[in-house]
Structures are given as structure tokens and as C-alpha cells.
């Protein structure tokens, strides 16, 4: 067994070398200020804070080594990390573990450790404390917070890497008896860290776009169920258990930043959307994030896990079995089905039918347990009563009826109210559709009143977050009318029309309908003439439409290439990645490669590879590889623009995907005999 894996008692047992090292280091730098733990300064005394010199003992080499090893062993046991920082975490842990042989040799040195060596070991331990805090955050922190703050977290990783390099650079290898092998291993690690200082791991494009859409306060697509479900899956927040854990993690963020901070409010909004999609009741996340209110009321009584509904985590009154074999409270699973879900909330499998079978055996067990323990189930809070439902139904019916009023003012107000209600409460979209709102709203799109057009198209956008409503809207022949508003409406109506087409194009059949209705040329026109928001709406809709192979040729014929080129050149728009993502789809089509693969475009790609952000470089390298795989002349052109040395750099320091693309390009150059 390695000495570094011994217990603290075993490692501190007196040995000849240990006693000699302790005697040598004892008393060094007693007049210096005590070295503190950067992870937690709350234990500093008043004398420390005002600069009074104390008689605290100087750090001891044996203790510093043991404490550093303990920190490494701690982070090695952390296990899984949040998906958005996983690669950076595992890389940092791997670097720290690679230093274990160094500490192994220092512990059993027969020579003295000089004062500068003690200082370096102390600095190294401080870096490990920083690393521990960072890794612990990535292990148990809020997944939504870490996704939103991915860039800031990467800056923290870079800072730890830099401090680690500095501490290792200061180790006096010439004055301590460390083997050549270990020294070379440490120097190699420092070299790799230095070389990778510009490295920046990024989220995939889909996650970044979805997070931006769901967290936006102004984007009408922020409640699209398909996007919310996809984002929840990416963040591993697609089960009731994980959503409860995320609620606990969120409370910790709120304690640090305050419940009313903009960041916390943003996370709460996203978390609540996840809960709505997965059938959980949305309550105050700060009231009791650790466990449901029902469990608090039970005091010390332990409630069997089988008695709790997987959705509400409350004791079931009327347990029922669904097609997947799972048991739920009847009321909560019925709400799940009423929200147009056809999957099991627990297993996520698609259900063959929506029938509910009473679980009499479990209900009898719950009844016996309640009587034995004198347990009373409190009244369910937050569920709509029949009276509340009828009032809501009455309001919805009234608004839909007013859409057909003979008074323009009444129609305008009704369209606006439906727009606002369907945004604030996405579940109401199903009820509006069931009451006939969609045909009436489609009819209003043809009105010459610009405000009615704006409210109607935005209301349809909000209703379209439900997949069933997407089909209903398309069946009402709404797509050609929405495209007409996109061409001729006022700018806000045009922007929301583009957003509506993006939402509708989530269904493959609608991609074809939009294209056959000449929606692509109208979107390209908005891409050329629109505001920044309009351009973003247009490019995201075009990206979705170009997932269809035939639509790629239609987009090129509509003149999509010139406005996309302008997005690449205008850095202020911050839409380089969006444009490159569309280009990456277009170059997979023969017509796209012919249209795009001009000399000027290759020069632009190389310029982005040279000067762009890590994500820019990743996208540009992907486009260049796709182009060059079909035409070796593009490789030669890129080489003439000076791409080679930058590809070498990206292959070592870029994002994961960028490294793969850069290596693919270098390999292509090699096999094509185009290496300089």
C-alpha cells in the first residue's frame, strides 16, 4: 500500500527521516505572518486582521504534505460532477492526483526542506484548498446556476490552473532530493497547463440556445415544452428526485446571493418551468426546499417511501396504477395527462394507454398505517377546486367568444388577454385550444389592424409551445397567414411571426409546409432587414428549417448566404456562432458547398480560426473540415491564408470538439500532401 493512502495516524508515526524533517523545519519563519487557509478565513483572529505579529507556529513540512494529500484524496472521492463543468473538473482532479508521487518523495526525504520549499508547499496547499472549493461547488451546486455561469466558472478554473503553475514553478527542486523522474513529471504537467491556458470548454450549441430561450424574459419561445424538456434532459433535471435536489441546491445559492437577486429569480423561473413540464406542483421553493411540507408535519414519524406519490412526494389518498406499472396519486397523474403528456413521469417511457387502475392493496396498507400511527393527511394545497376550474373555464370561454365580436376594440383586447394569459400560464394553452381559440386567432391575422395582428400572432406563438397545438395551428392553414404577417407586418409582428415559425418547425411536417408556403425567403428578408432581435429570430428559424435536406437548397436559392456573411463580419451583433451553425448545415449539401466555398469565405473562416472566441473557432473549423472533405482545393486555400499553425494550436488548446475538427483538418492536409 502506498504511504499516501495510509491513515493520518499511520502517516504521522515517528520515523528517522520524519523526525529529522520535523527537527529541521521547526522554528522556521516564526516571525512571519501565519499562513491561512484561503478556503475559509472566518477563523482569523482580530490580531491577524490588524497586522499584529502573533507567536503562532510556522507551517511544518510534514503537516503541509499530509494536509495536501488529504485534500487530493478528498476531491478524488467527490465522484460525479455537473455536466456543464464535468470535463474541467475531471481534468483538475487528474492533475492533482498526478502530484501524489511528488508528495510521496518529499515525505520521506532524508534532507532538510529549505525555507523557500516550505513557502512553496504552503502556497501549493492553498491552491488545493481553492480547487477543493471549486470542485465541491461543481459536485453539489445548482445545475441551472452552473449552466448559466459556465463562462465565469471557466475563469475560476483558469485561475486555479495559473496558481498551480506558479506554486510548482517555485518549488526548489535543486535543493530537495526529488528523483529526476518525478521532477520531469511535474514539469511536464506545468507545461501542459501553460499550453492549455487559452483552452475554453464550451456547452454544445443546442444547450446554449435552449438555455438562452428558456431564461429570456422577452423571447416568446421561453415556454416551448419541447425546448424545456430537452434542456432539462441536458442538465439531468428530468426526474422528480433530481428536481427536488436542485431545489435544495438553489436554496444554497439564494443564501449566498439573496432570494431577490436577479440570478436567483432567473433560476427559480427555469426550475418552475421544469417542474410544470414534469407534473410537479409549483410552490415557493424557499419555504422548505429540503422536504415536502407534509413530511414536516409528521414530526419524527417515518413515512414509508412507497406511500408517497412520485410527483407530489405526499402520502397518497387514492393511488392508481398507470400503463408503466408505476403508482401515483390519481389527481396528480390526471393533471399530468391533462397537460397532454403521454409518458410516465417516473420512467419517461411512452405509455400504450392512459387508463388508471386503482391500487387497492396499497390504499389498504396506507389506511392501516395511518390508523396505527394516528396520522391525518392535511388538505391538499395548491390544487384547483372544481369551483376554481369553472371560473377559469368561464374566463377562457368568454375571451374566445370575444375574439368573434363585431367590435374591433373588444377583439383587440381579447387577443391581448389571451396573449398574456398563455404566456404567464402555458397550461392554459390547451384549454384555449379546446375552446376554439386557434381558428379565431388565425382569422384575426388577416385583419388590417396592426395591433390585432401583433396580439394574434404572438398568442399563436404562445399556444404553439404545446405539440398538439402545433398540429392544430398548421391544420387551420395558419402557416401561410403567419408568413404573410412576416412579410408585411410591423417589425414586432414580423419578429414574433419568425419566432412562431421556429416553434412550429419543431414538427418535421411543418418544416415542409413552411418551405412550400415560401416562408424561407420571408425569413431571409428579415435576416437582412430586421433588428438584432429580428435577425436572431430569423436565423434560429432558418437553422431549424435547414435540418431538412431539401430546405437547404431552398435557403440558398432565397439568398441566405450574403446576410449570413454579414453576420460573420459584424462582430457587434454577437451572432457569429449562429451564422456558422447554419453554414455547417448548408455545406452538407452539394449546392451549398458550391455557393459557399468561394475564396473570400475561406479567408473569413481562417480569420475566425485565428482571432475568434473558442466557440467561434470550433464552429469555423467544423465548417472548414466539411468543405475540405469534399474538395481538397479548400485545404490549399486555407493554407495560403496561414491556417496551419492556428490549427496546431487548436488541436492542443481548443474545446473538445474543436480539437477533433482541427486534428481532422491536419490529417486531411497530411493525406492530401498539402502540409507546409
Instruction: Kindly report which listed range (53-67, 424-438, 638-652) carries the lowest average pLDDT score.
Output: 53-67
pLDDT, averaged across the chain:
78
Q: Which residue has the higher pLDDT, 632 or 463?
A: 463
Instruction: Give CA torsion, residues 135, 136, 139, 142, to 10 deg.
Output: -110
418, 399 contact by CB (below 8 A): yes
Q: Give 444-479 pLDDT, tens digit per residue.
A: 999 989 999 999 999 999 898 887 889 999 999 999
Q: Give 556-577 pLDDT, tens digit per residue.
A: 999 999 999 999 988 788 889 8
Distance CA 654, CA 201 (A): 8
Q: Is 181 buried (19+), middle (13-18) or exposed (0-12) by CB count in 10 A? A: exposed
Q: What is the CA radius of gyration of the chain?
A: 31
Q: Give 162-189 pLDDT, tens digit per residue.
A: 899 988 888 888 777 778 888 888 888 8
> What is the reported pLDDT for 43?
36
Q: Give 182-193 pLDDT, tens digit per residue.
A: 888 888 888 877
Which of the four pLDDT bands, split at 50, 70 and 90, describes residue 674?
low
Which of the four pLDDT bands, split at 50, 70 and 90, describes residue 370?
confident
289, 296 contact by CB (below 8 A): no
Q: Give 42-91 pLDDT, tens digit per residue.
A: 333 333 333 333 334 456 777 888 888 889 888 888 877 888 888 888 88
Most confident of 25-34, 145-154, 204-213, 376-385: 145-154
DSSP 58: P
Task: Report whether pLDDT(243) > 60.
Answer: yes
Q: Give strand pairing partners of 357.
A: 321
Which of the four pLDDT bands, split at 50, 70 and 90, describes residue 668?
confident
Cα 194 to its chain centre, rounded Å, is 28
Task: Report whether pLDDT(533) > 60.
Answer: yes
Residue 478 corresponds to which cell in the numbers above? Answer: 395558419
Instruction: Kindly report which listed range (113-127, 360-374, 505-519) carries the lowest average pLDDT score.
Output: 360-374
> What is the reported pLDDT for 241?
74
| Secondary element (H or E) of residue 100 | helix 100-107
- How many helices (DSSP H) and strands (DSSP E) are in the chain? 37, 3
Distance CA 629, CA 634 (A): 9
> What is the reported pLDDT for 59?
63
Which of the four pLDDT bands, split at 50, 70 and 90, describes residue 443?
very high
Task: Report whether pLDDT(415) > 90.
Answer: yes
Task: Report whether pLDDT(438) > 50.
Answer: yes
Residue 139 corresponds to which cell in the numbers above? Answer: 459536485
Q: Give 279-318 pLDDT, tens digit per residue.
A: 666 666 665 444 444 333 344 456 777 888 877 777 888 8
Three-state SS annotation for 606-641: HHHHHHCCHHHHHHHHHHHHHHHHHCCHHHHHHHHC
511, 548 contact by CB (below 8 A): yes
| Secondary element (H or E) of residue 126 | helix 115-140
Helices assigned H by DSSP within 357-449: 360-373, 386-402, 408-424, 428-434, 437-444
Distance CA 98, CA 89 (A): 14
> What is the reported pLDDT for 24?
35
Closest CA to 596 of 647, 645, 646, 555: 555
> What is the reported pLDDT for 363?
86
Calculate what percentage of the chain has a pLDDT beyond 70.
79
Q: What is the mean pLDDT of residues 191-214?
A: 65
> What is the reported pLDDT for 22?
36
Half-sphere exposure of 470 (CA within 13 A, CB side): 23
Global pTM value: 0.50
> How far from each other are the two terminal CA atoms of the chain, in whole angstroms?
51
Q: Which residue has the higher pLDDT, 616 or 114?
A: 616
> What is the reported pLDDT for 422?
84
Calculate what percentage of the chain has a pLDDT beyond 90.
24
DSSP 321: E
Cα 321-323-325 angle, rounded to 5 deg = 55
Three-class secondary structure of residue 236 per DSSP: coil
* Residue 540 CB partners (closer than 8 Å, separation 6+): 209, 502, 578
Q: What is the mean pLDDT of residues 434-451?
A: 92
Q: What is the mean pLDDT of residues 530-555?
A: 91
Distances (CA, A) of 458 to 262, 266, 405, 536, 537: 26, 23, 20, 16, 13
Closest CA to 310 of 284, 294, 337, 328: 328
Instruction: Find the farthest-apart pair of alpha carbons in the chain and give their distance in angstroms, rounded.
Output: 100
Which of the four pLDDT bands, split at 50, 70 and 90, describes residue 206?
low
DSSP 227: H
**Which CB contacts under 8 angstroms, 24+ apart, belong to 534-540?**
534/491, 534/494, 534/495, 534/498, 535/567, 535/573, 535/575, 536/575, 536/578, 537/495, 537/496, 537/498, 537/499, 537/502, 538/498, 539/564, 539/567, 539/575, 539/578, 539/579, 539/582, 540/209, 540/502, 540/578
Distances (CA, A) of 397 to 389, 391, 470: 12, 10, 21
Distance CA 100, CA 454 (A): 65
* Residue 138 CB partners (closer than 8 Å, separation 6+): 81, 82, 85, 86, 88, 89, 146, 153
Q: What is the mean pLDDT of residues 200-221?
A: 63
652, 614 contact by CB (below 8 A): no
> What is the reported pLDDT for 673?
59
Cα 475 to its chain centre, rounded Å, is 34
Which of the four pLDDT bands, split at 50, 70 and 90, describes residue 17?
very low
| Secondary element (H or E) of residue 357 | strand 357-358
| Secondary element (H or E) of residue 358 | strand 357-358
Amino acid at each position: 500500500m502506498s504511504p499516501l493512502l495510509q491513515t493520518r495516524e499511520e502517516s504521522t508515526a515517528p520515523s528517522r527521516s520524519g523526525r529529522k524533517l520535523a527537527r529541521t523545519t521547526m522554528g522556521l519563519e516564526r516571525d512571519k505572518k501565519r499562513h491561512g487557509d484561503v478556503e475559509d478565513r472566518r477563523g482569523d483572529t482580530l490580531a491577524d486582521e490588524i497586522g499584529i505579529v502573533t507567536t503562532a507556529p510556522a507551517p511544518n513540512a510534514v503537516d503541509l504534505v499530509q494536509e495536501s494529500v488529504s485534500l487530493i484524496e478528498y476531491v478524488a472521492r467527490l465522484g460525479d460532477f455537473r455536466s456543464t463543468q464535468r470535463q474541467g473538473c475531471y481534468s483538475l482532479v487528474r492533475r492533482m492526483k498526478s502530484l501524489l508521487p511528488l508528495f510521496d518523495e518529499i515525505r520521506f526525504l532524508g534532507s532538510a526542506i529549505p525555507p523557500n520549499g516550505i513557502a512553496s508547499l504552503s502556497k501549493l496547499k492553498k491552491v488545493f484548498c481553492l480547487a477543493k472549493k471549486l470542485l465541491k461547488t461543481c459536485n453539489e451546486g445548482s445545475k441551472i446556476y452552473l449552466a448559466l455561469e459556465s463562462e465565469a466558472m471557466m475563469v475560476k478554473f483558469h485561475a486555479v490552473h495559473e496558481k498551480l503553475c506558479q506554486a510548482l514553478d517555485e518549488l526548489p527542486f535543486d535543493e530537495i532530493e526529488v528523483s529526476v523522474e518525478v521532477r520531469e513529471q511535474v514539469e511536464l504537467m506545468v507545461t501542459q497547463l501553460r499550453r492549455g491556458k487559452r483552452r475554453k470548454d464550451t456547452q454544445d450549441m443546442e444547450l446554449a440556445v435552449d438555455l438562452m430561450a428558456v431564461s429570456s424574459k422577452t423571447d416568446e419561445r421561453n415556454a416551448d415544452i419541447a425546448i424545456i424538456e430537452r434542456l432539462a434532459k441536458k442538465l439531468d433535471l428530468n426526474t422528480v428526485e433530481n428536481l427536488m435536489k436542485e431545489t435544495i441546491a438553489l436554496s444554497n445559492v439564494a443564501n449566498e446571493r439573496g432570494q431577490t437577486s436577479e440570478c436567483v429569480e432567473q433560476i427559480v423561473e427555469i426550475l418552475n418551468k421544469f417542474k410544470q413540464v414534469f407534473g410537479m406542483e409549483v410552490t415557493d421553493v424557499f419555504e422548505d426546499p429540503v422536504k415536502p411540507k407534509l413530511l414536516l408535519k409528521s414530526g419524527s414519524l417515518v413515512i414509508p417511501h412507497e406511500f408517497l406519490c412520485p410527483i407530489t412526494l405526499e402520502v397518497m389518498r387514492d393511488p392508481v396504477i398507470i400503463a408503466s406499472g408505476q403508482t401515483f396519486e390519481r389527481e396528480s397523474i390526471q393533471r399530468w395527462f391533462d397537460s397532454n403528456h403521454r409518458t410516465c413521469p417516473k420512467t419517461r417511457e411512452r405509455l400504450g394507454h392512459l387508463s388508471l387502475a386503482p391500487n387497492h392493496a396499497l390504499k389498504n396498507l396506507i389506511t392501516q398505517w395511518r390508523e396505527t400511527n394516528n396520522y391525518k393527511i392535511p388538505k391538499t394545497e395548491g390544487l384547483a377546486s372544481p369551483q376554481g376550474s369553472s371560473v377559469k373555464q368561464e374566463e377562457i370561454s368568454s375571451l374566445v367568444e370575444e375574439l368573434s365580436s363585431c367590435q374591433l376594440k373588444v377583439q383587440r383586447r381579447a387577443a391581448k388577454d389571451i396573449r398574456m394569459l398563455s404566456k404567464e400560464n402555458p397550461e392554459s394553452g390547451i384549454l384555449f385550444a379546446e375552446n376554439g381559440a386557434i381558428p379565431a386567432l388565425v382569422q384575426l391575422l388577416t385583419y388590417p389592424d396592426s395591433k390585432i395582428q401583433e396580439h394574434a400572432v404572438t398568442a399563436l406563438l404562445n399556444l404553439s409551445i404545446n405539440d398538439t397545438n402545433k398540429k392544430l395551428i398548421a391544420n387551420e392553414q395558419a402557416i401561410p397567414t403567419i408568413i404573410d404577417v412576416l412579410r408585411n407586418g410591423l417589425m414586432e409582428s414580423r419578429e414574433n411571426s419568425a419566432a412562431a415559425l421556429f416553434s412550429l418547425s419543431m414538427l418535421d411536417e411543418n418544416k415542409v409546409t413552411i418551405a412550400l408556403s415560401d416562408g424561407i425567403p420571408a425569413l431571409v428578408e428579415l435576416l437582412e432587414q430586421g433588428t438584432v432581435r429580428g435577425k436572431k429570430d430569423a436565423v434560429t428559424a432558418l437553422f431549424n428549417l435547414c435540418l431538412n435536406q431539401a430546405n437547404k437548397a431552398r435557403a440558398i436559392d432565397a439568398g441566405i448566404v450574403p446576410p449570413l456573411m454579414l453576420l460573420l463580419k459584424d462582430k457587434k451583433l454577437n451572432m457569429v456562432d449562429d451564422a456558422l451553425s447554419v453554414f455547417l448545415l448548408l455545406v452538407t449539401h452539394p449546392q451549398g458547398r458550391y455557393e459557399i466555398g468561394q475564396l473570400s469565405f475561406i479567408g473569413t473562416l481562417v480569420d475566425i480560426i485565428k482571432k475568434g472566441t473558442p466557440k467561434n473557432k470550433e464552429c469555423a473549423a467544423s465548417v472548414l473540415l466539411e468543405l475540405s472533405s469534399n474538395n481538397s482545393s479548400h485545404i490549399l486555400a486555407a493554407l495560403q491564408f496561414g491556417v496551419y499553425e492556428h490549427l496546431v494550436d487548436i488541436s492542443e488548446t481548443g474545446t473538445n470538439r474543436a480539437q477533433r475538427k482541427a486534428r481532422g483538418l491536419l490529417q486531411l492536409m497530411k493525406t492530401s500532401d498539402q502540409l507546409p
